[in-house]
Structure 1
Amino acid sequence: MAKGYSRLLFVFSSSFIHLFVLSLAQPNFIVQHCSDNNGNYTINSAYETNLNSLLSSISSNTAIDYGFYNESSGQEPDKVNAIALCRGDVSLEVCRGCVTNATQKILQVCPNQKEAIGWYDECMLRYSNNSIFREMETQPQFDLVNTQNVTGDVSAFNTGLQDLLTNLRNTAASGSSVLKFQTGNTTANFQSIYALVQCTPDLSADMCSDCLDQVIGEIPSCCSGKIGGRVLTPSCYFRFELYRFFNSTVNLLPPPPTEGIDC
């Protein structure tokens, strides 16, 4: 991804230079959504203070080592809720780097919205003034599709893809309260298909399954006969390609604590 760099023409303190360059160096999200439905917050408001505190807490949290961060800050009506979710096959180092980038980038691209979401390849960050924990949400939805078509029998390819994603859905939905993620591959129409699915692990098994059913159901309208694509929603997503795009060892994150998580 492209990164921005700044050539400083004046002499500032070293701390200011560090912060200034850092603010410009965050990679762009694959896609982001800055919601106007819940209104905007004002500079120096209680909401902004709570949001900044919350994002700082998430980015500096080293106690969580399983890739799912869900925290709140403040009291109503200025309470902020946030979720950060790392892709289930990335290392802890990659996860924390991605989340840190996301907590800084989201304020640049959505400077005063009370609700926003941004996706990288390796993680997602979402915050809102509404309750978002243990809530299945499929909007906003984004379809990202490779425009190149598969060759040969499109119907056979689509059937193979649907079957693969359905099998991955079943396994992911039955995952733990800290990880609902699965990868796999199949062969259809003499072509290899690689795919992954993931839900935010605060969802129940049924909610995760329902969410993935909805996004997989988008294939005929978004991805039919395409060599790659993904459907992103706040609560779940899938991606498929003709090449292995995920780590061969699933879930490189350390084992989660047996007591689960607090929401």
Structure 2
Amino acid sequence: MEFSGKLFIFLLLPLLQISTCDAYANPIYHACSKNFTSDNLIQDSINKTLSSLLAKTSLDSFGISSFGDGFFTIFGLSQCRGNLTVDQCAPCITKATEEIRTLCPNSAETRIWYDHCFLHYGTTKFFGEPDTSFTRVFSSGLIAADPIKFNYELMDLVYRMNAMTVGIDEKFSMYATHVSKNLSIFATAQCTRDLEELACRQCLDKLSEIFSGSCKYHLDCYVLSSSCVLRYAVSEFLNLPVSLSPLVFAAGFLAAGINSNLTGGHGFLPRSKADVMLNQLPEKSGSPENRELTAGHLSTWPVIGGLNHFVLVKFISGGLTAG
């Protein structure tokens, strides 16, 4: 099949609730194009690119690579979900490099998505370019009981989450917010790490438009593209704490490379970014007691759902206090 700029929408609720054990058992979606016949040069470039991606991504959860000359060059990228360790990442990338050969045996352009990872290779150099020409939407058929309020909270969350995502090197963030006493929204955004801040923002902005349309009022939605993904659900799908009761972290966003309008809600930041934000907090951001409390707990905060390199923070304006 040839890729196109069309938007495809699937009403598949079970797909949005992938368990950890099935995270790379089967791909969420795959696509193949640019078929070639028995061309040993193209196949050799594909094999070498896949081998290189497997080696790089197994070490750093991300990799880009290319092999071949001229028309026979293959460019590839692979990446795991940003909250995973390399040990969790490696099996998914291994599965992807194996399965794509079976699913797209004679294709020079392929994409394959799993819950834990993504792989893409083709004959065009796409590194650093936001690509939303190939997009898939998976949404549940369930509609919010109070759709107006739900959609308002969702789009506010997406705005905050996107701003957080583009401002950090990992190009990945998680976010959660309460809609009501018994209803919370959990969400995640991720760009491929080859994208600069502007390119990542452009990609997420495009998917946000889809959220505001195709996902409107739905309780769960997952939007995939070649350069970024957005996902939300009312059930926790990343092994995150449902209670949402961390120490509060505030201020210093602009200095830390995070939009200063990010107040309200809860986010999940890499510990390295949280360290930077804490060190750059102005004195007026909180009392010495609260500042010391936060600093003392940052390095010893408990592992959050296995996210040993992320911390849960609550964004407020004007102060630091215990959540």
The interval holding the TM-score normalised by the smaller chain is 0.7 to 0.9
Aligned residues: 224
Secondary structure at the aligned position of 1:162 is classed as helix
Check if 1:60 corresponds to 2:51: no
What corresponds to 1:31 in structure 2?
A: 29
Call closer, same or farther: CA 1:209–1:73 in 2, change over 3 Å. same
Q: State yes or no: 1:201 paired with 2:193.
A: yes
Paired position in structure 2 for 1:182 = 173
Give the SS at the match of 1:71.
Answer: strand
What is the TM-score of this pair, normalised by structure 1? 0.79
Using CA pairs under 8 Å that are at least 6 residues apart, name the structure with larger relative contact order, 1 or 2.
1
Secondary structure of the residue aligned to 1:65 is: helix
Between Structure 1 and Structure 2, which shows a larger proportion of helix residues? 2
* Helix, strand or coil at the partner of 2:199: helix
Report the equivalent of 2:118. Answer: 124
Q: Out of 86, 91, 101, which is 1:107 matched to? A: 101
User: CA–CA distance in 2 between the matches of 1:82 and 1:253?
Assistant: 29
What is the CA distance between 1:66 and its match in structure 2?
Answer: 3.0
Aligned letter for 2:164? T
Unaligned runs of 5+ in 1: 2-25, 256-263
| Alignment-derived partner of residue 227 in structure 2 | 235
Instruction: State the one-letter code of the partner of 1:192.
Output: S
For residue 133 of structure 1, the aligned residue among 110, 127, 138 is: 127
Q: Give, in whole Å, the separation in 2 of the partners of 1:234 and 1:253.
A: 28
Aligned equivalent of 2:202? 210
- Is the 1:34–1:113 Cα contact (8 Å) retained in structure 2? yes
List runs of 5+ in structure 2 lacking aligned partners: 1-13, 15-23, 241-267, 271-306, 311-323
Distance in 2 of aligned mates of 1:58 and 1:134: 17
1:5 equivalent in structure 2? none
TM-score (norm 2): 0.65
Query: Which whole-Å CA distance do the structure 2 matches of 1:253 and 1:55 have between them?
Result: 29
CA contact (8 A) 2:189 2:229 kept: yes
CA distance in 2, matches of 1:44, 1:27: 30
**Is the contact between residue 155 and residue 212 of structure 2 (CA under 8 Å) also seen in structure 1?**
no
Matching residue of 2:91: 97
Q: Which residue number corresponds to residue 45 of structure 1?
A: 40
Aligned to 2:70: 76
Alpha-carbon spacing, 1:127–1:84, altered in 2? closer, same or farther (3 Å)? same
Runs (4 or more) in structure 1 with deviation over 4 Å come to: 249-255
Could you say if the C-alpha distance between residues 224 and 58 of structure 1 is closer, same or farther in structure 2, counting changes exceeding 3 Å?
same
Q: How many percent of aligned residue pairs carry the same amino acid?
A: 29
Which position in structure 2 is the counterpart of 1:6?
A: none
Q: Tell me if structure 2 keeps the 8 A contact 1:98–1:123.
A: yes
Whether the 8 Å contact between 1:92 and 1:253 is mirrored in structure 2 is: no
Aligned-residue offset at 1:88: 0.3
